[in-house]
Amino acid sequence: MSKKKSFTLGELPGAKIWTLAFFIYLYAPMVVLVVYSFNENRRVMNWTGFSLDWYAKAFANDNIQRAAWNSLMIALVATVCAVTIATLAALILGRRNNFRGKDTSTGLISLPLVVPEIATAVATLCFFAVVGIQLGLISVIIAHTVFCIPFAFLPIRARLEGMDDTLEQASRDLYANDWQTFRYVTLPLLMPGIFAGAMLSFIISIDDFIITLMVAGAGSTTLPLYIYGMIRRGITPEVNVISTVMLAISIVFITAYWLLTRRQSVTTH
Amino acid sequence: MKKLLIAAVSSAVLSFAASGAYAAGELNFYNWTDYTPDDLLEKFQKETGIKVNLDTYDSNETLLAKLKSGATGYDLAVPSQNFLEIMVKEGLLEEANVASMPNYKYVDARFKNPTWDPEQKYSSPWQMGTTSFVIRTDLYDGDCSSLKEFFEPTGKAVGQLGVFKTPEEVMNQAHLYLGQEMCTEKNEDFKALQKLFEGQKPAVKIYSSEGTPDRIVDGTVVMSSGWNGDMFNARTKEGGTTVKYCYPKEGVVGWFDSLVIPKGAKNIEAAKKFMDFVMKPENMALVSNFASYANAIPDSAPFLNPELADAPELKVPNGIPIAFGQSCGEKYIKAVDKIWTKLLQ
Amino acid sequence: MNLPQNPATRRFLGLLPAWLVIGIFMVMPMMILLVFSFMESDPYGGVDPGFTIEAYRQILFDLNFDDELEFDPVYLIIIGRSILLALIAVFGCLIFGFPVAYYITRQERRVQNMLLYLVTIPFWTNLLVRTYAWILILSGDGVIEQPLKSLGIIENSLEMMYTNGAVATGLVYSYLPLMVLPIYASLEKLDFRLVEAAHDLYASRFQAFKQVIVPLAKPGIIAGCILVFVPSVGAFIAPDLLGGGKKLMLGSLIHLQFASSRNWPFGGAIAMLLLAFVMIALLWQLRSARKRMEESG
């Protein structure tokens, strides 16, 4: 790297500034959103002073509390269901084995990722109408479980694929039965993947809007639905407050996920 | 530690399932946005111990679509008179036997046993009002004396017009403007309607049924579809002093919204209690003071915001026709749907 | 506790819950929607029994008010707009995202990780919230127009909200991370000695870029384009919030049929059409991936 030093494609002309602009574009809207949540004025874009009043107001609002509680519970139940189903499936599909139907099964599990959300939403609505399941919490939880499965499945399978099976074999050599091997060897090794899958499912569920919009019924308003209702009605800093809280939740979870998978890749290498 | 966590989570989930939305002592109320005063719900809870959960919708069409798609579990909803008839016909409502309720005696005789619910089996009165359009007198020059200004906008209204997102009420305004019968089934009429709305579209900035007071007050639009009570609130409570609710010579659309109990309601007794509760004059006054519409309980007058008494928004001038929306036949509904879907393309 | 010994039984039991849940609550609903799209619509919502292809015919030919069948471009316009806006989103993401992905690969490991983390965060945050943020930016008293107005640079509103441009901006913003990540993944494997070698052979900078980098990044670019195209073409939030309800896209058209127009068969037919577009895009990707595999032997 002597005379060719002038040629550094890695520093494509302006790539640095471009990247900087990119990150500004990516984050500026969120910063604006957060900043204006501290506006005291009812007209959100009319800055008149710093205030925490809208936070106090939002946190004291019964309907917001109820929506938050709904969101949390739906996400929790859907995550538990999705992770259980995904773990079972990953234990079969994540091993280096081949059997008839393996590709089909993997394809089926990724189906919710492929189908456009709005199509899933209206199809699920029609299904509930045909089967006669009332729209409400149950219908929302079912729908969320379905589209959380692939998000739970992928990290768990990745973890399994990266795991070597010497420990499991050692366990069997020591006359542990299958269940004991699973419980005391496989599962602990798999845990980071399961946690990662749970984080993703949780975020995906708590953020979901379109499917929830179509299949929600009495008493199952979630935070995103509540925010949507508020936006349509006219915007106040209160919308920014809830939005900021939702951003914070997502960022905390995705950071946890990030740290988890990074530690995982460090330990496997 | 782990066991503790599992126990905590599962007990939370269980209590969630049990407390759920359907538990006794809760009422799921599905109403239009900005139509339900908090103090009314609080008072109801204080008196009866029943907690009211509120969900909102933006139009009669949305309400009907939601109920038809099986969103049962709502204990109360508030359709307008024409959609109430459809819901009765489609078997979407529980009987409430309002006529036998103690506070029914307060209802104005003119509104007892109305045509849309002749035996007062299903519905109790909520609010009534009119639909027309509004202008900003400081930003728009016309005097809004004709629907022509709304449907064929000129000058500063072009590109600054807000129209409702669903067709029902605007369609009725169009019938008034074009001198057509309500529920017309004539093909020429449909063609004229289609031409009218497509001519209006280039001037339209937004199709939306919610947030109209905000948009007219902050100047996002200078002319907009609107309900009279909303616009009273925009002028008085939101400081839009130059907001004018228009009474075009062709007329305004009238509506009467009622409380009903959708089929599949989980808490019919509580819903009936609420209906009765609302018919009490001081309670009905809470609703009118919040939403700023007229009501069918004359004895509520002493409790009303005095400004409402002589608000121009609530007084239709003499000689201005009021046309009430009707429940129309299938051909009409399909034609309107077609016109509207094509319009929004 | 003992687990079943037979591997086939084990497989069956392990996969059964996933098959059941996705089969019943995902595949079956799709079938039902397909069936509904061939039924007659009930004017008040739902479907009436009876087989008809009216919902599909309606996409191209509609009965006019004289009861004559005529060609009707309205829905073609919506389809066209959806595809066009989705392509604009793809293109915008590519232009904006490619140099960034490239830049990231050229950083040291720690910085790379940090930057990737920053790229993924928006992807995992609420789409509705992020689109809402654009209302604050684009609206008449938003953060762009307010300073311009107070400085006297503009007098009247720039009217950025409720336009196709606003929708496209929202789409690009929504799905940008989906473009950057796959391109990064394929560029990461790029051996930069190749680029230097190309330059040694007196290739110009542009040639080196075209001949070396682009082919290597191609799988990532294709994957990114598909990942952006699929959600964009069925988008609902951006056209709804930023388009003012008068620039329908396929997603909003479907939603409208179920949420207020109550024409389920037509909504179902459009959903099937959308699904077909997505499948075509995916098959195309699969085919090009397979072709690459064959080429590389």
pLDDT band at B23 (very low <50, low <70, confident <90, very high): very low
The residue ranges of every structural domain in chain C are 81-182+224-295
**Residues in chain B within 8 Å Cβ distance of C256:** 341, 344
Tokens coding A38: 């501290």
pLDDT of A3 higher than 50: no
Average pLDDT over residues C47-64: 88
**In contact, A152 and A82? CB cutoff 8 Å:** yes
Q: What pLDDT, in 10s, does the model give residues B202-219?
A: 999 999 888 899 899 988
With contacts defined as CB-CB under 8 Å, which chain C residues touch A258? 117, 120
pLDDT at site A176: 82
Output the pLDDT for position A1.
Answer: 39
Tell me the chain C residues in contact with residue A146 when contact means C-beta distances shorter than 8 Å.
21-22, 25-26
Q: How far apart are CA C127 and CA C232, in angstroms?
A: 12
Residue from A18, A118, A207 whose CB has the most chain C CBs within 10 Å, to mutate? A118
Q: Assess if residue A147 is contained within a domain.
A: yes
pLDDT exceeds cutoff 90 at A95: no
Average the pLDDT over C34-58 and give the result: 90
Q: What is the pLDDT of residues A225-258, one digit of tens each?
A: 999 988 887 778 999 999 999 999 999 989 988 8
Structure token pair of residue A241: 């407050």
Task: Tell me the nearest-neighbour CA distance from C71 into chain A, angstroms.
Answer: 26
Q: Assign A134 a pLDDT band (cuts: 50, 70, 90).
A: confident
User: CB contacts < 8 Å between A and C, how many?
Assistant: 261
Write a three-state SS string for chain C: CCCCCCHHHHHHHHHHHHHHHHHHHHHHHHHHHHHHCCEEECCCCCEEEEECCHHHHHHHEEECCCCCEEECCHHHHHHHHHHHHHHHHHHHHHHHHHHHHHHHHCCCHHHHHHHHHHHHHHHHCCHHHHHHHHHHHHCCCCCCHHHHHHCCCCCCCCCCCCCHHHHHHHHHHHHHHHHHHHHHHHHHCCCHHHHHHHHHCCCCHHHHHHHHHHHHHHHHHHHHHHHHHHHHHCCCHHHHHHCCCCCCCHHHHHHHHHHCCCCHHHHHHHHHHHHHHHHHHHHHHHHHHHHHHHHCC
Q: Is the pLDDT of residue B245 over 50?
A: yes
A residues 124-183 near C, CB within 8 Å?
Answer: 124-127, 129-130, 142-143, 145-146, 149, 177-179, 182
Q: Domain limits at A251?
A: 61-268
On chain C, the residues whose CB falls within 8 A of the CB of B334 are: 43
- Which of B68, B190, B341 is facing C45, going by the closest CB pair? B68
Average pLDDT over residues C35-57: 89
Q: State whether A228 and C176 contact (CB < 8 Å).
A: no
Q: Enumerate the H helices of chain B as residue ranges.
A: 2-19, 38-48, 60-68, 81-89, 148-151, 167-178, 187-200, 212-217, 228-236, 268-279, 281-291, 306-309, 330-344
Most A CBs within 10 A among C15, C94, C108, C184, hence the mutation to make, goes to: C15
pLDDT digits (tens, 9 = 90+) for A146-168: 999 999 999 999 888 877 778 88
Place B224 in a pLDDT band, splitting at 50, 70 and 90. very high
pTM of the model: 0.88
Contacts of C67 in chain B (CB under 8 A): 187
Judged by a CB distance cut-off of 8 A, whether residue C10 touches chain A is yes
- Report the chain C residue with the minimal C-alpha distance to residue A205: C126
| pLDDT for residue A97 | 78
Cβ contact B12–A233 (<8 Å): no
- Counting one residue from chain B and one from chain C, the pairs whose CB atoms sit within 8 A come to 84
B27 to chain A, closest Cα gap in Å: 9
SS3 B70: coil
Of A63, A76, A218, the CB nearest to B21: A218
Total domains in chain A come to 1
Quote the pLDDT of residue B14: 53
What rounded mean pLDDT belongs to chain C? 88
In contact, B162 and B225? CB cutoff 8 Å: yes
- If you average pLDDT over residues C12-20, what whole number do you get? 93
Check whether B17 has a pLDDT greater than 60.
Answer: no
pLDDT at B21: 42
Q: Mutate one of B29, B53, B76 to test the A interface: name it (highest A CB count within 10 A).
A: B53
Inter-chain CB proximity B219 and C46 less than 8 Å: no
**Is residue A25 in some structural domain?**
no
Q: Is the pLDDT confidence value at B8 over 70?
A: no
Question: Nearest CA to CA, how far is B144 from chain C (Å)?
Answer: 24
CATH number at residue A201: 1.10.3720.10
| pLDDT value at residue A246 | 92
Test mutation, A77, A126, A138, chain C, max C CBs within 10 A = A126
Coil vs helix vs strand at B26:
strand
According to the model, what pLDDT value does residue B6 have?
60
Q: Are residues A251 and C125, on separate chains, in Cβ contact within 8 Å?
A: yes
- Please indicate, yes or no, if residue A44 is contained in any of the structural domains: no
Residue C20 has pLDDT above 50, yes or no: yes
Q: How many residues does chain C have?
A: 297
pLDDT on residue B281 = 96
Kindly determine whether residue B341 and residue C253, on different chains, have CB atoms separated by under 8 Å: yes
As a whole number, mean pLDDT of residues B16-43 equals 77
Q: Which residue(s) pair with B32 in the sheet?
A: B57
- Within 8 A by CB and 6+ apart from A60, the residues are none
Mean pLDDT, rounded, for A156-181: 84
C1 vs A contacts (CB less than 8 Å)? 177, 179
Q: Which of C86, C78, C85 is nearest to C59 (CA)?
A: C78
Fold assignment, C81-182+224-295: MetI-like fold (1.10.3720)
Q: Which residues of chain C from 143 to 202 reach within 8 Å of chain B, CB to CB?
A: 159, 162
Higher pLDDT, A163 or C137: C137
What's the rounded mean pLDDT across residues C16-30?
Answer: 95
- Report which listed range, B30-34, C31-35, C118-122, is most confident: C31-35
Q: Is C67 on the interface with B (CB under 8 A)?
A: yes
- Report the alpha-carbon distance of residue C138 to residue C123 in Å, rounded: 21
Q: Percent of chain B at pLDDT above 90?
A: 72
Q: How far is A173 from C30, CA to CA, in rounded Å? A: 48
* Model confidence band, residue A11 (pLDDT cutoffs 50, 70, 90): low
Predicted pLDDT of residue C42: 86
Q: How confident is the model over B287-335, as pLDDT tens digits?
A: 999 999 999 999 999 999 999 988 999 999 999 999 999 989 888 988 9
Q: Locate the chain B residue with the closest alpha carbon to A74.
A: B13
Task: Report chain A residues whose CB lies below 8 A from the CB of C98.
Answer: none
Lowest mean pLDDT among B142-151, B319-328, C145-154: C145-154
Mean pLDDT of chain B: 90
A112 with C22: Cβ contact below 8 A: yes
Q: What value does the mean pLDDT take over residues C222-251?
A: 88
The ipTM of this complex is 0.89
Residue A242: inside a domain, yes or no?
yes
Q: Is the Cβ of C197 closer than 8 Å to some Cβ of chain A? A: no
Q: Give the pLDDT of residue A132.
A: 86
If contacts are CB pairs under 8 Å, which of residues 109-128 in chain B contact chain A? Answer: none
Higher pLDDT, C248 or C95: C95
C120-159 burial code (b ≥16 CB/10 A, e <16): bbbbbbbbbbbbbbbbbbbbbbbbbbeeebeeeeeeebee
Identity of the residue in C139, C140, C260 whose CB atom sits nearest the CB atom of B166: C260
Helix (H, G, I), strand (E, B) or coil at B317: coil
Confidence check: pLDDT of B123 > 90 = yes
Q: Is the pLDDT of residue A268 over 50?
A: no
List, for residues C254-279, the tens digit of each pLDDT value: 998 998 888 999 999 999 999 999 99
* Tokens 């056209």 found at: C239
Residues of C in contact with B68 (CB under 8 A): 42, 44-46, 262
Task: State mean pLDDT over C209-236.
Answer: 87
Residue A43 lies in a domain: no
**Domains defined for chain B, CATH in brackets:** 19-128+255-309 (3.40.190.10), 130-254+318-344 (3.40.190.10)
A105 has a chain C CB within 8 A of its CB: yes
**Three-state secondary structure call for residue B331:** helix
What percentage of chain A exceeds 90 in pLDDT?
Answer: 52
Query: What's the pLDDT tens digit per position in C156-189?
Result: 778 888 888 999 999 999 999 999 999 998 888 7
Scanning the structure block, which residue is given the tokens 């232009």? Answer: C95
Percentage of chain A lying above the pLDDT 70 cut: 93
Is the CB of residue A136 less than 8 Å from the CB of residue A185?
no
C267 at interface of A, judged by CB pairs closer than 8 A: yes
| A185 has a chain C CB within 8 A of its CB | no
CA distance A20 to chain B (A): 33
Residue A246 · residue A265 · CB < 8 Å: no
The per-residue pLDDT for C282 is 87
Is B86 in CB contact (< 8 Å) with chain A? no
Higher pLDDT, B12 or C222: C222
Which chain A residue lies closest to B207 (C-alpha atoms)?
Answer: A232
